[in-house]
Structure 1
Amino acid sequence: MSLVLRLSAIGAILLGAGAAFTYVAGWLAPQRLGPDRITDALEKHDGLHPGFRRAHAKGLCVEGSFQGNGTGLTLSRAAVFEPEPIPVIGRFSTGGGQPYAPDGRLVFHALALSLVLPNGEQWRMAMDNAPIFPVATPQAFLAFQLATAPDPRTGKPDPNRVAEFLARHPETQAFLDWQRYAPLAASFANGTYYSINTFRFVDAMGEQRFVRWSFVPETPFEAIDKATLAERPANFLFDDLLARLSEAPLRWHMIITLAESGDPVDDATRAWPADRSSIDVGTLTLTRAAIEETGACRNITFDPTILPSGVAPSDDPLLAARSAVYATSLARRDGEPAEPSALGRDPAARSAR
């Protein structure tokens, strides 16, 4: 990859993976790396935008339900897999800490979910449209932030610092290659969303299995031409989602993938082989959307370590402190005014245009 392309891709990660560090966080050594330091780094990259999330700042609330088909109970005792509908509050977003950024950027498309079980337990998920993450540890993420921080004189990352970082982190280069060549869904509705990290499922007998999951759409996949992204309307992804939901519900199947011996369970930069066993355990149905000023998702921290009985985190270091950064971001924006988002008009009026 030429230096120009490499810097362009790094810039995309700054808006996507960098902002998606709401999905990472450093807490392995609090005396050296804590949630405030990471949150400060995110604000430095994309600027301070009071009232908005420090990562994935541009988003839209959604509501619906999840209904298990009973198959998941063979893997986990979690009540969510019972064949009964569970209410869901969710959020679609694009990567980056700039709430008014255009949708036509090569960044993460994300889906976050909060499921409330009948017994009061909750399961929260934060997923991206990429099956791998650019870095494996919180320390590496902070190093990435420092290496790619815009130079005040040029407004762009220093190419020497970028090159040095990539030389030390081939896993990040692997992500850049994936982002450059993998097809990108043309809509939130036809994208697949991945847990990225590994979790443990615990069944009724106490047996544990390492798993990852994905939400696979019923809407047929259609790729967008990446060369035309910059030409798209500023809110084309969100306008498309609003229009689709105004016409009919949207559905995804939750697919659980089982690890086999030797598969990495503590490294989010490494994908599992494609031949691993997968099981369809239920269907997510989304029925309506709302802007964050009026929607139910604004003050939810989609902390993926909030888990029901029968689901537990793995030893992936990226999971250990996600809740700390989520909490830090929420505490900061909770004391700030809720500014109008880029989508800040009534969804019904916008989708009826």
Structure 2
Amino acid sequence: MPDPSRSSAPPHPWWRWAIIAAAVIVLAAAFGYAGGWLAPDRLTPRRIIDGLQQDSGVYPGYRRNHAKGVCVAGYFEGSGAAAPYSRSAVFGQVRTPVVGRFALPGGNPYAPDSSVPIRSFALRFNLANGQQWRTGMNSMPVFLVATPQAFYEQVEAGRPDLATGKPDPKRMAAFFAAHPESGPFLAWVKTAKPSASYVTESYSGLNAFYFVDAQGQRHAVRWQVVPEARDDAGTGPAAGDGDYLAGDLQRRLAQGPQRWHLMVTLAGPGDPTNDATKTWPADRATVDAGTLVIERAQPQDSGPCRDINYDPTVLPDGIEVSDDPLLAARSAAYADSYLRRTGEEAHLPGTAHPEDKR
């Protein structure tokens, strides 16, 4: 029969240390798996960013994708039309400050503006209650692929050949043959032309999200900002001007603020929320959630957007991520890129290390 006097004694110290050690081992294994150390063939953010670097080269202190850009700032004037679908304060009839960034895809910050037909627009909404909404949008109707693995395979297929310095057409053709979901993007890009202005472009979020209303009901949505300015013929400037977009932006802003309307599309039954390669039918209900107003621009090396990671999963109460697998992958890859470039900036000659990076 057990001795009651012994059952109340505290456990031996080794027992506690064993529990702590076991916990450390479990955590280490979890981090090892997340980092790919215990599963070298698993796709990780590091592998994605390494692949982007191999395609474009390494430019210390710059983003690994959308490296060439310009900072902008202004505000969003909510119309109240989206308030029935989302309880977020940003959709009330209020003014919310924004810090944004126009950019080109690719990792080369010196690429000519005419080198690609796609422009991007990232925004951070700074809500009065201290919450943030970050979003990254592109001037195309659909994304190239539906999954992170397919994106990585596309990056690998686009790696420049050592002999030519350009992607191997046969390798790219093989990739697209294996990924028929890229068909809508390829059909669009065949006729797309580099625009002569950031200001005249529409920018789409591409991924689906959920708005959550005051009753807790979720509504699947996609959003797009549509410009008021429409005076771009889409032909580009005179030959030899590789940096015309920033100059055009400054000239337009000198004449007054530039405006876009935030158009939110509500999904219908059966509309996919997990596949950014598929559009929703054109007859879906759309609400004008408000007006985005850009008032000023600054170079990205000194402007307010420089140290912002435009992670699309940073959302305020009233907006939630969907089941689109690209969202989590974008978040993780952006974080890896951010840590690399800010660490490099800290070691560049004559570059101060901002307080908010410490």
Smaller-chain TM-score bracket: 0.7 to 0.9
For residues 169 and 279 of structure 1, the distance between their equivalents in structure 2, rounded to whole angstroms, comes to 33
Query: 1:235 maps to what in 2?
Result: 243
DSSP 3-state at the match of 1:62: strand
* TM-score between the two structures when normalised by the length of structure 2: 0.83
Query: 1:13 maps to what in 2?
Result: none
Query: 2:95 maps to what in 1?
Result: 85
Query: 1:244 maps to what in 2?
Result: 252
DSSP 3-state at the match of 1:171: helix
Query: 2:74 maps to what in 1?
Result: 64
State the AA in 2 paired with 1:238.
A
Q: Which among 282, 293, 302 is matched to residue 274 of structure 1? A: 282
Is residue 131–residue 195 contact of structure 1 (8 Å, CA) maintained in 2? no
Query: 2:143 maps to what in 1?
Result: 133
Query: 1:192 maps to what in 2?
Result: 202
Query: 2:338 maps to what in 1?
Result: 330
Corresponding position: 1:308 with 2:316: yes
Query: 1:299 maps to what in 2?
Result: 307
Is residue 254–residue 283 contact of structure 1 (8 Å, CA) maintained in 2? yes
For residues 328 and 341 of structure 2, the distance between their equivalents in structure 1, rounded to whole angstroms, comes to 22
CA shift in 2, pair 1:262/1:229, >3 Å:
farther
Query: 1:106 maps to what in 2?
Result: 116
Is residue 28–residue 321 contact of structure 1 (8 Å, CA) maintained in 2? no
Shift in Å, 1:90: 0.3
State the AA in 2 paired with 1:266.
N
For residues 61 and 48 of structure 1, the distance between their equivalents in structure 2, rounded to whole angstroms, comes to 21
Query: 1:43 maps to what in 2?
Result: 53
For residues 110 and 193 of structure 2, the distance between their equivalents in structure 1, rounded to whole angstroms, comes to 25
Largest Rg, 1 or 2 = 2
Shift in Å, 1:317: 0.5
What number of residue pairs does the alignment pair up? 312
C-alpha RMSD over aligned residues? 2.0
1:184-239 per-position Cα deviation (integer Å, ceiling 9, x unaligned): 543111110000000000000011110000001111253313xx679251111111
For residues 29 and 50 of structure 1, the distance between their equivalents in structure 2, rounded to whole angstroms, comes to 23
Query: 1:216 maps to what in 2?
Result: 226
Is residue 105–residue 229 contact of structure 1 (8 Å, CA) maintained in 2? no
State the AA in 2 paired with 1:47.
G
Shift in Å, 1:107: 3.5
For residues 230 and 37 of structure 1, the distance between their equivalents in structure 2, rounded to whole angstroms, comes to 39
For residues 131 and 331 of structure 1, the distance between their equivalents in structure 2, rounded to whole angstroms, comes to 30
DSSP 3-state at the match of 1:131: coil
Bigger RCO of structures 1 and 2 (CA < 8 A, at least 6 apart): 1
For residues 64 and 283 of structure 1, the distance between their equivalents in structure 2, rounded to whole angstroms, comes to 11
For residues 211 and 221 of structure 1, the distance between their equivalents in structure 2, rounded to whole angstroms, comes to 29
* TM-score between the two structures when normalised by the length of structure 1: 0.84
Q: Which among 263, 268, 286 is matched to residue 294 of structure 2? A: 286
State the AA in 1 paired with 2:320.
A
Corresponding position: 1:178 with 2:203: no
For residues 245 and 287 of structure 2, the distance between their equivalents in structure 1, rounded to whole angstroms, comes to 29
Shift in Å, 1:29: 10
DSSP 3-state at the match of 1:127: strand
For residues 290 and 240 of structure 2, the distance between their equivalents in structure 1, rounded to whole angstroms, comes to 34
Q: Which ranges in structure 2 are unaligned for 5 or more consecutive residues? A: 1-32, 350-358
DSSP 3-state at the match of 1:99: coil
Q: Which ranges in structure 1 are unaligned for 5 or more consecutive residues? A: 1-26, 341-353
Corresponding position: 1:147 with 2:164: no
Q: Which among 256, 269, 272 is matched to residue 264 of structure 1? A: 272
State the AA in 2 paired with 1:110.
S
Q: Which among 315, 325, 334 is matched to residue 317 of structure 1? A: 325
For residues 289 and 191 of structure 1, the distance between their equivalents in structure 2, rounded to whole angstroms, comes to 17
CA shift in 2, pair 1:314/1:29, >3 Å:
farther
State the AA in 2 paired with 1:304.
P
DSSP 3-state at the match of 1:272: coil
Is residue 42–residue 55 contact of structure 1 (8 Å, CA) maintained in 2? yes
